[in-house]
Amino acid sequence: MKKVEAIIKPFKLDDVREALAEIGITGMTVLEVKGFGRQKGHTELYRGAEYMVDFLPKVKIELVIQDDLLEQALDVIVETARTGKIGDGKIFVTDIERIIRIRTGEENEEAV
């Protein structure tokens, strides 16, 4: 099993969630995060004064999925979250060694 962490633009969240649901992925964790990469923030004007906004609002989606759904899920996230502009985000994939559902004690695939 794999853990997929996708950092995307906030307005793309509903589209990505719906697209993942269409391929059978319904469980996810969503966090509101802030950060920057190559985008390096931007300047804004507030009451006539210009100031630098270093950390931009993003959304982080965390999924734990079976290996056979990985490529399909990655394709869906990339295609749905892409705007073609800087700051579209990144996806990180890591291995999961063990999962335990606290309520039942089920482990691994049964716990997802």
| pLDDT tens per residue across all 112 residues of the chain | 999 999 999 999 999 999 999 999 989 999 999 887 766 666 666 677 766 667 788 999 999 999 999 999 999 999 999 999 888 999 999 999 999 999 999 998 888 7
**pTM, full prediction:** 0.83
The encoded tokens of residue 19 equal: 């697209």
Q: Give the closest residue to 5 by CA, choosing from 48, 43, 42, 59.
A: 59
In this prediction, residue 42 carries a pLDDT of 61
In this prediction, residue 44 carries a pLDDT of 63
The encoded tokens of residue 89 equal: 């985000």
In this prediction, residue 54 carries a pLDDT of 72
In this prediction, residue 62 carries a pLDDT of 97
CA 106 to chain centre: 26
Q: What are the phi and psi torsion angles at 102 (to 5°)?
A: -60, -45
Neighbours of 75 (CB within 10 A): 12
Contact partners, residue 31, CB within 8 Å, separation at least 6: 59, 60, 62
In this prediction, residue 41 carries a pLDDT of 60
In this prediction, residue 36 carries a pLDDT of 75
Contact 91, 77 (CB under 8 A): yes
Write down all domains in the chain, each with its CATH number in brackets: 1-108 (3.30.70.120)
The residue with tokens 């307005």 is 11
Strand pairing partners for 43? 52
